[in-house]
């Protein structure tokens, strides 16, 4: 067998080369430079694809030399000439840099008219160089000719213009660095990889040590890889298992058994400002990796997390595409301040960030920091929890191309049961007759004709004489909703070497919405690059660009298309005989109903087709960083980050809206624009050192962040026609602009220590200074401490064989909440007109009292938990208990009238959340057939401890619904009257306390305080939206490439307010009613179901008050997801030009078990309180629609939400 000793480029090199079967050389430049060039080439190609004109220029310049260039006699570097040959002929030409860097040539020496060998001969011979062909696409330059031979060559090629000032000798060549191996005759090895129990392991990473060449095991644990020689070392690595290195030797087949690495205790997860192994985590951190949501059909990754993480309540408040869910981590910690978690995307903390701006398929993992000790490193922004999103980066190995496509349909399967035309006409007649009789019971009769009635009590003749002509009428839900298609395209390329890793991706989502004329289109492009410049320096750039074009209606509740469509009377047709859509058409036979003021039509098309809308959103999030390894274990990292958000919304209301709206309105144009720019500079210093059994890690950091928001709006009217819809075609009637800024400076530090990788201690502190808070309290400190003990590593546990690992954790920390108005501590001015003589002049007034002592709310939290793995790791259990207290809670406290103001924003309240969380994972069956179960359970109890000095309750009312917050109770209890049925007759009315207008058939209002009267003092707690507990259950099955999973999700014990009961639960000016109202009280002999009271226009006996009839059980169980996928086996794939192919079917929101009247018990038309939305038109007061309460106080109130559709998609993904 030939010798495998390293090559020595000295005497006899040519002979030595002939004897070698493997050549080990290094590239022209250092490996890091080459890899940088490769990445640059990829970037260039992407730019060429985007800008064709560049591509044309590049193509023309790619020719080695044109005739005109040949006329130029300016010399160029020999290595540059070689590079041009490489580009032109598409080959690899390898050489030692010192061999060629001293020489220059004239461009006329080589030409595209000659072949590669001729050009190489002409270039190399004058310098005593030659070349050797390694294979079809690889050549190697060698120094072989003597000085005499070089002189002869110069005589043969005088035009070369040699300009060498250095004598070239063989000694100039250094020993070749073993960085890349090129083989003439490689050998192939294969094998199978299993765990220590013999179960196959798919996805194990296999690389050739010292190279970038690698592969992965398939779903059967099989692999195959070409190696240069028998000295090659194969490296096997897999998450949760110890790394193995095996020398190939003379074997061609391997069976590798991977051993679980108990020291690593599963995977490394992302934490604030770094990563940690799960073994070292001492706080409450939940991690979800890409595989758990890779096939889910959501535009926002957090939607896919719903039901998977204990203690995290993710509710889809609206079903429209692109609408972000409401996220509550371990309950609610504030009344007045914002309650959204902090989002950190690739290390950039962003308040109220819309994760629709990040393509879920670009995300590597999502971590949730739930306790204060984990979140305290984010200081004043961590009180509501932190969600860390980490995007993908390529791994060492060959470049992998991934292509994915999925197509789906969406439909509204659960409908609200409304009256049909015949039921509604019957109700309409009944209400008018009852009201007419109530007007004068001794004289008026239900049989009285319209001729003796006043207009209010008249009934259309068609209702009385021929109601059958209307048939069942129109179900406006059939008009509003449709079966909507969607398509999603994904493309990515990732890979890299030991020094450079990259990931480029592009995706396009085209989703038609189930609501008429609504859509959601998103284009996302991402480029993540990391490159090691040297042993000391590493640089990186993550850049994500997203554009969204969408139209979204139906999410605003009360006066939006979904709510109004349900309220519309079913007697009207979709189109009238003239092709218009409403009865207000003066030329239609339906116009006769205009005379009746209590008939209603808000035709869905009048809002979706006769108002033209489009929202355009553009977001760019970029992170550039530099890492400098100062010493072993000491690293400096600095980063510059920015997020640029722009949005533009345009709408145009067509003149008269096809007569389909409640009024005939003139054309109107409306336009808004928003802008947000957020920049961040962070600098951290990390030090890691081991001293025997002692391991220490120290983090120090400084950060500066600022954000500016701008918003503008214009309205135009008096359009001459509907031909031109831009605002300039009309007359501008109003406009508005605003702008605001905030900034923050931070210092942070963290120390992590462990002894024998068994005892862990972490301490952290952050100091934040924010422009939002008072000048006297602008800076705050947020410390935390946590510890963990690996009990299973103790000697006394070694004989407890069923326990594989057992860890105890405890933590305590403080985090803040800075989500208040940007100028909440300052006294602001409002515009106000005043009279001067007989004219009105513009002026300014003071809007509020300044509070220089205003500071952030502080949440302290104690957390204790255990992590257990048992029975050969078949059972995994994690259990937590926590107790958190929010101090200095912000409240609008009453102030003396002498100040001229009613309230002042002050830190004075206190609130508590306690709860338990449980995560259970079981490997039920392992082998060829696998079955695993994941179960999570969480329970939170919220209680208000203090509300100012007098602890006076706080009540807010919005459109009749009242919420009350008081000491000793959870936040925002629903507060109203209790209905105990319906009075069957007048005798029952007389025998029980009642309101003065109460009649038989009216609701029985409970006398709560027992004073014999029905007054406002009889209002009481009717429920609360916070559930008693939540749970999620996922079962996953796999067999021979087939994977099947289904997930059940449920919440139990909470309540929801059906605010549409105000319109459709009792008479409200002729709107359509819920179908259940047909079973109402009609007479003593026909009392109905005892729940629905009599129909009348007068609404006697508290019919229109907020009562328990509005409040329903929000408990539900949802079959959240079903997924089935099939991966083609390796036996097929080895005959195809692709690595892997997988096909899948995914179903979301498959079925709902709930007693709720409306679409979904998760629906709410009130979002969480937010104070950072000026770019979206939020004027930063965080108030609800009525402007009298924090928006978050009404979460759990549903005023006609957009239904959550069922989504079924089929897709395919291929790796090349």
304: enclosing H helix or E strand = helix 301-305
How many other C-beta atoms are found inside a 10 Å radius of the C-beta of residue 462?
A: 15
Which of 173-187, 367-381, 850-864 bottoms out in mean pLDDT, i.e. has the lowest?
173-187
Q: What is the pLDDT of residue 1172?
A: 55
**DSSP 3-state assignment of 416?**
coil
Q: What is the pLDDT of residue 1184?
A: 62
Q: What is the pLDDT of residue 100?
A: 80
Query: What does each C-alpha distance from 721 to 653, 666, 669, 768 come to in angstroms?
Result: 11, 10, 12, 56
Average pLDDT of the residues in 1015-1024:
96
Average pLDDT of the residues in 995-1004:
94
SS3 readout for 883-895: EEEEEEEEEEEEC
Average pLDDT of the residues in 1178-1203:
75
Which of 80-89, 739-748, 1099-1108 bottoms out in mean pLDDT, i.e. has the lowest?
80-89
Q: Tens digits of per-residue pLDDT, 47-73?
A: 334 333 333 333 333 334 343 343 345
Closest CA to 317 of 1169, 1182, 1160: 1160
845: enclosing H helix or E strand = strand 839-846
Closest CA to 322 of 520, 137, 95, 57: 520
The answer to whether 233 touches 249, Cβ cutoff 8 Å, is no
Q: Is the pLDDT of residue 1052 over 80?
A: yes
Q: How confident is the model at residue 15 (pLDDT cuts 50, 70, 90)?
A: very low
Q: What is the pLDDT of residue 137?
A: 67
* Antiparallel, parallel or unpaired: β 1003-1005 and 979-982: antiparallel
Max mean pLDDT among 173-187, 706-720, 833-847, 1122-1136 falls in: 706-720
Q: What is the pLDDT of residue 1131?
A: 80
Max mean pLDDT among 164-178, 200-214, 654-668 falls in: 654-668
How many other C-beta atoms are found inside a 10 Å radius of the C-beta of residue 921?
A: 17
Q: Is the pLDDT of residue 1086 over 60?
A: yes
Q: Tens digits of per-residue pLDDT, 684-700?
A: 999 999 999 999 999 99
Q: Tens digits of per-residue pLDDT, 937-981?
A: 999 999 999 998 789 899 999 999 999 999 999 999 999 999 999
**Greater pLDDT, 1176 or 225:** 225
Closest CA to 588 of 601, 573, 578, 599: 578
Task: Please report, rounded to a whole number, the percentage of residues in the chain having pLDDT higher than 70.
Answer: 87
Report which DSSP code applies to 5: P
Q: What is the pLDDT of residue 156?
A: 42
Distance CA 65, CA 526 (A): 36
The answer to whether 811 touches 371, Cβ cutoff 8 Å, is yes
Distance CA 280, CA 263 (A): 10
Q: What is the pLDDT of residue 215?
A: 85
Q: Is the pLDDT of residue 397 over 60?
A: yes
Q: Tens digits of per-residue pLDDT, 509-522?
A: 999 999 999 999 99
Q: How confident is the model at residue 1186 (pLDDT cuts 50, 70, 90)?
A: low
Q: Tens digits of per-residue pLDDT, 238-280?
A: 866 778 899 998 888 898 988 776 544 456 888 999 988 888 9
Distance CA 845, CA 852 (A): 20
Closest CA to 464 of 484, 447, 444: 447
DSSP for 707-755?
EEEEEEEEEEE--S-SS--SGGGSEEEEEEEEEEEEEEEEEEEEEEEEE
Structure tokens at 55: 């591509």
Q: Tens digits of per-residue pLDDT, 530-567?
A: 999 999 999 999 999 999 999 999 999 888 999 999 99
> Which residue in the block uniquely carries the two structure tokens 């007061």?
1181
Q: Is the pLDDT of residue 850 over 50?
A: yes
Q: What is the pLDDT of residue 51?
A: 37
Domains of the chain, each with CATH number or no CATH: 13-183 (3.55.50.30), 187-258 (2.60.40.1120)
Q: Establish how many alpha carbons lie within 13 A of residue 874's alpha carbon, considering only the half-sphere containing its beta carbon.
A: 11
Q: How confident is the model at residue 210 (pLDDT cuts 50, 70, 90)?
A: confident
Q: Is the pLDDT of residue 177 over 60?
A: no
Structure tokens at 395: 């791994």
Q: How confident is the model at residue 197 (pLDDT cuts 50, 70, 90)?
A: low
* Antiparallel, parallel or unpaired: β 397-411 and 1206-1215: antiparallel
Q: Tens digits of per-residue pLDDT, 427-445?
A: 999 999 999 999 999 999 9
Rounded to 5 degrees, what angle do the CA atoms 959, 965, 966 make?
145
**DSSP 3-state assignment of 842?**
strand
Average pLDDT of the residues in 1141-1161:
96
The answer to whether 722 touches 709, Cβ cutoff 8 Å, is no
Q: What is the pLDDT of residue 797?
A: 93
Q: How confident is the model at residue 469 (pLDDT cuts 50, 70, 90)?
A: very high
Q: How confident is the model at residue 1072 (pLDDT cuts 50, 70, 90)?
A: very high
The answer to whether 1192 touches 1169, Cβ cutoff 8 Å, is yes
Q: How confident is the model at residue 165 (pLDDT cuts 50, 70, 90)?
A: very low
């Amino acid at each position: 067998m030939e010798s495998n000793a390293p090559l020595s480029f000295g005497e006899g090199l040519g002979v030595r080369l002939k004897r070698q079967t493997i050549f080990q050389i290094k590239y022209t430049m250092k490996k890091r430079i080459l890899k940088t060039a490769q990445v640059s080439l990829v970037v260039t190609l992407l730019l060429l694809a985007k800008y064709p004109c560049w591509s044309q220029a590049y193509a023309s310049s790619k020719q080695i030399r044109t005739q005109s260039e040949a006329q130029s006699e300016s010399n160029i570097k020999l290595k540059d000439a070689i590079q041009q040959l490489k580009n032109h002929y598409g080959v690899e030409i390898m050489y030692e840099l010192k061999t060629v860097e001293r020489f220059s040539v004239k461009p006329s020496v080589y030409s595209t008219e000659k072949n590669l060998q001729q050009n190489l001969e002409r270039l190399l011979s004058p310098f005593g160089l030659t070349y050797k062909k390694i294979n079809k696409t690889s050549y190697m330059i060698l120094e072989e000719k003597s000085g005499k031979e070089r002189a002869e060559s110069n005589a043969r090629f005088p035009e070369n213009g040699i300009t060498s000032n250095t004598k070239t000798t063989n000694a100039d060549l250094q020993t070749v660095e073993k960085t890349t191996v090129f083989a003439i005759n490689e050998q192939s090895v294969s094998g199978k990889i299993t765990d220590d129990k013999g179960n196959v392991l798919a996805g194990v990473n296999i690389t050739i040590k010292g190279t970038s060449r690698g592969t992965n095991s398939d779903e059967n644990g099989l692999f195959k890889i070409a190696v240069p020689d028998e000295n090659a070392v194969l490296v096997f690595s897999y998450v949760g298992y110890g790394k193995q290195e095996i020398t190939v030797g003379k074997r061609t087949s391997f069976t590798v058994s991977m051993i679980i690495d108990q020291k690593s205790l599963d995977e490394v997860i992302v934490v604030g400002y770094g990563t940690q192994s799960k073994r070292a985590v001492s706080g409450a951190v939940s991690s979800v990796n890409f595989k758990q949501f890779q096939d889910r059909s959501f535009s926002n990754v957090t939607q896919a997390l719903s039901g998977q993480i204990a203690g995290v309540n993710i509710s889809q408040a609206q079903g429209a595409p692109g609408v972000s869910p409401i996220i509550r981590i371990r309950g609610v910690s504030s009344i007045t301040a914002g309650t959204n978690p902090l989002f950190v995307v690739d290390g950039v903390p962003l308040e109220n960030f819309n994760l629709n701006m990040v393509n879920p398929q670009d995300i590597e993992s999502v971590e949730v920091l739930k306790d204060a000790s984990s979140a305290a490193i984010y200081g004043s922004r961590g009180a509501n929890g932190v969600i860390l999103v980490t995007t993908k980066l390529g791994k060492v190995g060959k470049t992998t191309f991934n292509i994915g496509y999925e197509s789906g349909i969406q439909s509204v399967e659960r409908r609200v049961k409304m009256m049909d035309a015949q039921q509604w006409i019957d109700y309409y007649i009944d209400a008018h007759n009852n009201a007419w009789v109530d007007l004068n019971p001794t004289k008026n009769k239900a049989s009285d004709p319209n001729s003796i009635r006043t207009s209010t009590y008249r009934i259309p003749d068609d209702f009385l004489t021929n109601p059958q002509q209307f048939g069942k009428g129109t179900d406006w839900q059939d008009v509003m909703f449709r079966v909507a298609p969607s398509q999603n395209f994904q493309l990515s390329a990732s890979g890299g070497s030991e020094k450079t890793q990259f990931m480029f991706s592009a995706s396009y989502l085209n989703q038609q919405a189930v609501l008429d004329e609504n859509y959601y289109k998103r284009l996302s492009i991402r480029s993540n690059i990391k490159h090691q410049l040297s042993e000391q320096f590493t640089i990186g750039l993550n850049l994500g660009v997203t554009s969204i074009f969408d139209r979204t209606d139906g999410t605003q509740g009360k006066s939006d298309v979904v709510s109004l469509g349900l309220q519309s009377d079913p007697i009207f047709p979709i189109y009238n005989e003239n092709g218009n859509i409403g009865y207000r058409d003066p030329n239609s036979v339906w116009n006769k109903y205009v005379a009746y003021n209590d008939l209603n039509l808000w035709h869905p098309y009048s809002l979706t087709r006769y108002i033209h809308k489009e929202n355009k959103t553009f977001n760019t999030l970029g992170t550039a960083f530099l890492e400098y390894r100062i010493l072993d274990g000491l690293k400096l990292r600095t980063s510059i980050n920015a997020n640029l958000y722009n949005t533009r919304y345009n709408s145009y209301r067509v003149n008269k809206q096809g007569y389909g709206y409640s009024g005939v309105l003139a054309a109107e144009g409306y336009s808004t624009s928003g802008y947000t720019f957020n920049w961040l500079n962070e600098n951290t210093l990390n030090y890691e050192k081991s001293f025997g059994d002692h391991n220490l890690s120290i983090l120090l950091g400084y950060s500066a962040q600022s954000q500016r928001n701008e918003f503008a709006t214009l309205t135009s009217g008096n359009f001459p026609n509907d031909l031109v819809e831009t605002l300039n075609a009309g007359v501008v009637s109003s406009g508005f602009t605003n702008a605001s800024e905030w900034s923050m400076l931070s210092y942070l530090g963290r120390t992590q220590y462990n002894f024998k990788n068994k005892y862990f201690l972490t301490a952290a502190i952050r100091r934040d200074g924010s422009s939002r808070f008072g000048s006297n309290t602008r800076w705050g400190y947020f410390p935390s401490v946590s510890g963990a003990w690996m009990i299973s590593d103790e000697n006394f546990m070694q004989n407890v064989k069923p326990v594989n690992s057992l860890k105890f954790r405890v933590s305590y920390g403080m985090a803040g909440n800075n989500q208040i108005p940007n100028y909440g501590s300052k006294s602001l001015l409002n515009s106000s007109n005043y009279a001067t003589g007989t004219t009105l002049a513009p002026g300014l007034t003071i809007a509020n009292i300044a509070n220089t002592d205003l500071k952030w709310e502080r949440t302290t939290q104690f957390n204790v938990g255990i992590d257990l793995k048992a029975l050969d790791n078949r059972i995994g259990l994690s259990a937590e208990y926590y107790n958190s207290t929010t101090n200095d809670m912000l409240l609008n406290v009453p102030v003396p009238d002498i100040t001229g103001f009613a309230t002042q924003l002050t830190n004075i309240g206190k609130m508590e959340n306690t709860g338990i969380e449980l995560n259970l994972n079981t490997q039920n069956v392992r082998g060829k057939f696998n079955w695993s179960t994941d179960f999570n359970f969480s329970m939170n109890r919220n209680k208000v401890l203090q509300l100012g000095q007098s602890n006076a309750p706080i009540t807010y009312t919005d459109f009749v619904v009242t919420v009350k917050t008081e000491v000793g109770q959870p936040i925002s209890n629903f507060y109203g009257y209790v209905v105990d049925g319906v009075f069957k007759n007048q005798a029952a009315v007389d025998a029980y306390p009642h309101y003065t207008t109460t009649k038989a058939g009216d609701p029985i209002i409970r006398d709560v305080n027992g004073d014999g009267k029905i007054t406002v003092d009889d209002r009481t707690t009717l429920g609360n939206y916070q559930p008693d507990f939540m749970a999620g259950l996922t079962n996953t099955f796999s067999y021979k490439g087939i994977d099947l999973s289904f997930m059940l999700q449920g919440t139990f014990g909470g309540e929801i307010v059906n605010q549409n009961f105000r319109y459709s639960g009792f008479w409200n000016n002729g709107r359509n009613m819920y179908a259940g109202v047909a079973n109402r009280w009609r007479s003593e002999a026909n009392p109905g179901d005892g729940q629905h009271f009599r129909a009348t226009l007068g609404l006697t006996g508290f019919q229109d008050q907020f009562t328990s009839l509005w409040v329903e059980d929000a408990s539900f169980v949802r079959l959240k997801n079903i997924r089935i996928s099939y991966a083609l086996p390796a036996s097929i794939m080895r005959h195809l030009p692709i690595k892997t192919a997988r096909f899948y079917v995914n179903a979301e929101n498959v079925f709902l078990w709930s007693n709720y009247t409306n679409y979904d018990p998760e629906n709410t038309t009130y979002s969480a309180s937010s104070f950072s939305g000026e770019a979206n038109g939020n004027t930063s007061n965080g108030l609800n629609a009525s402007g009298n309460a924090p928006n978050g106080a009404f979460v759990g109130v549903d005023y006609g939400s957009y239904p959550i559709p069922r989504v079924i998609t089929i897709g395919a993904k291929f790796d090349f």
